[in-house]
Structures are given as C-alpha cells and as structure tokens.
Amino acid sequence: MVVTGRIYVPSAVEEGGSVVAMGCFSTQATALSVLRSFLKKSHQVPLERASIAAWEVDVVGDDGVTILSEYECRHCPVCQRPTFWIDIERFKAACYGSACGAWIEESAVEAEVIDCGWPPTQFAEQVESIDDAMRTLRRIAARAEAAGMSATDERFSMDSF
C-alpha cells in the first residue's frame, strides 16, 4: 500500500541564519500548535522569522512545497520583548509572550479598520492604521507603567486567565 498526501513542517530562522526545524506533522493545526508553542519562547532564542510549509509526499522539486504562512519577529509594543509575531500574508500580529498577548489585526467586519488589544487588561480599540495600532498599544503599556505595573507583571500573565 502506498500512502501519499501532505505533511506540514513548522520552522524558524535564528538571527545568525540557522534554521530550527520542529518536525513534520500530518495536520496543519498540529504544525501551527507546535510553532506557536515554540514562538512563546522566542525571547530566549533570537529569532528573525518563522513559517509553516506544506510538503507533498513523493513530489520532487519546488512543486513539492507550498509556504502556507510566514511570520516576522518584532519587539512587542506592550512588553518590549521580541515575542511579537506578524503574519506576513494577511495582517495579523500577536505577542506570544506568556505575560502579554497584545494583538493587532484587520477588522473582519469593517473595511480599512484595524483592531488591536491587550487581553490581560481587557483593552481593545479600533484605529485607522497599523501605526495607530502600535501607538495605541504603546500608550496602554505606558499607562500600566505609570500606575506602577509592568506589562510582564504576574498580574497580567495570560496564564492566569
């Protein structure tokens, strides 16, 4: 019996160019889950980008691979750690740091509107541009700091919700 199909491969690229392979999986959901778990630790290992590729079994050459999603790493506007991952294809960004969870994405309801938020404080806002969203998240982090709290404070941990 010959089994053909697709496998899903999450990987990340370190700052020096080394590729971190995370295995191959039979479902895209599992590959995404493994990648997200790895990205939560991106403040410990300097990473530049990550991706999930789908490989067709028994296909030779470039026709055998499709990049399903690509992510770039940035410093989070709230917690300032390198755990803010931006999906390059469709604009979505999220901080995978366990003490943050800040996010930005295009509104699914209103065209040309950007939604952003910081879940531990139940903060959400709609703005007109990506730059406005980044400024808004920096502003909410500054308010927390002014109140004597840090975005990495245990009280704001996503694990506690």
DSSP-derived 3-state class of residue 67: strand
- Does 1 share its domain with 29? yes
Q: Which of 21-25, 60-64, 67-71, 103-107 has the lowest mean pLDDT?
A: 60-64
Q: Give the pTM.
A: 0.77
- Does 70 share its domain with 98? no
As for how many domains the chain has, the answer is 2
For residue 160, is pLDDT > 50? no
**Tokens representing residue 66 in the block:** 């499709």
Domain-embedded: residue 89:
no
pLDDT for res 4: 56
pLDDT for res 153: 60
pLDDT for res 115: 95
Torsion of CA 120, 123, 128, 131, to 10 degrees: -40
- Does 119 share its domain with 159? yes
- Residue with more model confidence, 108 or 71: 71
| Among 74, 105, 139, residue at a domain's last position | 74
Tell me the residue range of the domain where 26 lies.
Answer: 1-74
Mean pLDDT of 10-32: 94
- Does 37 share its domain with 100? no
CB 128 within 8 A of CB 114: yes
For residue 1, is pLDDT > 50? no
Mean pLDDT of 107-114: 88
For residue 114, is pLDDT > 60? yes
Q: What percentage of the chain exceeds 90 in pLDDT?
A: 50
- Does 47 share its domain with 1? yes
- Residue with more model confidence, 112 or 151: 112
What's the pLDDT tens digit per position in 46-89?
Answer: 899 999 999 998 888 888 899 999 999 999 999 988 999 998 88
Cross-strand partners of 37 = none
Domain-embedded: residue 79:
no
Domain-embedded: residue 45:
yes
CB 25 within 8 A of CB 7: yes
pLDDT for res 137: 94
